[in-house]
A = this chain, B = another copy of it.
């Protein structure tokens, strides 16, 4: 009897608990969603113009309807333009930039194969980690934050390690370095190696010629220069990359990112019909298409030119304030994401917090190997303008005036 009494009490207690939990759900989820507007001048995501947001609010249609295939074909054309390639194996991964990085590595590399990673910031570190996870033999060449690699260093490492894949980050957004690409593709092919380039932070803001520079796999994200919401990741594969990928002995570890399935879904494999693979994020495709339309309207060369000019104007402004640029050599400065040496005597976190609080503006600190060393400002796509530079410079001046400075 006593035991039964205890059971009943316990049950009542459980019901009470669950009621409290349900009440909590109702309270939090019955509050309407509120999202502030903010100047997104960090390393990404950048601001999304209402034109692109509205495109993404169009009604959902099927992931296998003819209309979505047409939209996907348009996206393919836009990516080919942005990447300066005629690769038919061009598509967008249904995930953010990291999923494109995995898509590249998962498909191009088989367990036991050798991969060479040029590490001069966080993206190299992450590419190396991804390749290791799938059982590749990974070798790295490492440059200090802010540095990059010469062609000679690349050749030395290629001839030593004889990798099947070389990874280079074109826009190393953690350090602000724009890595020169000319000649590396040709070098890779001399050593029978595929050339994989991360252009998440650079594409559309700095010249990349996928075909001419003999890049075998190139990917980016939607949320940087393209000014679309994060969630899709353009990627393209050369004929040479496809030859290796489609003669693999093992299946890639991921079904979701398996290029043979993706190629069919995106109509890149020449087959007459498309087979259901996964449910493509159709509304994200709408906004990605719209962002590519914006790029086509401006013209790629004009976009490169604008990003460069605005960056130069910004850099001059920073230097005239007495701030130092983290990347010494001008030609190695990423025009999309600028790294500023963390101002001496200040706590960088106080600066970014002050600017967020007072100016409703995001700039950020370092990432990975650059934490504590830099402030990072991203002016990408529609955000790359002289007006925005003036806004950031004013915010920085204000922060340096109002934040604590040690007496040192």
Contacts and interface: CB of A to CB of B under 8 A. Distances in A.
B286 A251 contact: no
Interface of A: 21-22, 24-26, 28-33, 35-38, 40, 42, 44-48, 50, 53-63, 65, 67, 71, 73-74, 77-78, 80-81, 86, 94-99, 102, 126, 129-130, 132-134, 221, 223, 229-231, 251-256, 276-284, 286, 289-290, 292-293, 296-297, 362, 367
A380 to B, nearest CB: 12
A45 B62 contact: yes
A40 B67 CA distance: 14
Given A28-B77, A61-B36, A282-B229, A367 B276 contact: yes
A55 to B, nearest CB: 5
Nearest to A71: B33
Contacts of A42: 62
The 7 closest A-B pairs by CB, nearest first: A231-B281, A35-B58, A229-B283, A57-B57, A29-B296, A25-B81, A98-B278
Given A45-B63, A253-B253, 17 more contacts: A22-B81, A25-B80, A25-B296, A30-B297, A35-B67, A35-B286, A36-B61, A44-B279, A57-B57, A60-B230, A62-B362, A94-B99, A133-B251, A229-B284, A231-B283, A231-B284, A276-B367
Nearest to A277: B98
A134 B134 CA distance: 9
Contacts of A78: 25, 29
Given A221-B279, A253-B134, A60 B80 contact: no
B284 A281 contact: yes
A30 to B, nearest CB: 7
Given A25-B296, A256-B98, A296-B26, A281 B230 contact: yes
A256 B296 CA distance: 31
Nearest to A290: B33
A381 to B, nearest CB: 12
Given A81-B25, A229-B282, A133 B57 contact: no
A289 B221 contact: no
B58 A33 contact: yes
A55 B53 CA distance: 10
Nearest to A22: B81
Contacts of A102: 254-256
Contacts of A289: 29, 33
A95 B77 CA distance: 23
A394 to B, nearest CB: 21
Nearest to A26: B296
Nearest to A68: B35
A133 B254 contact: yes
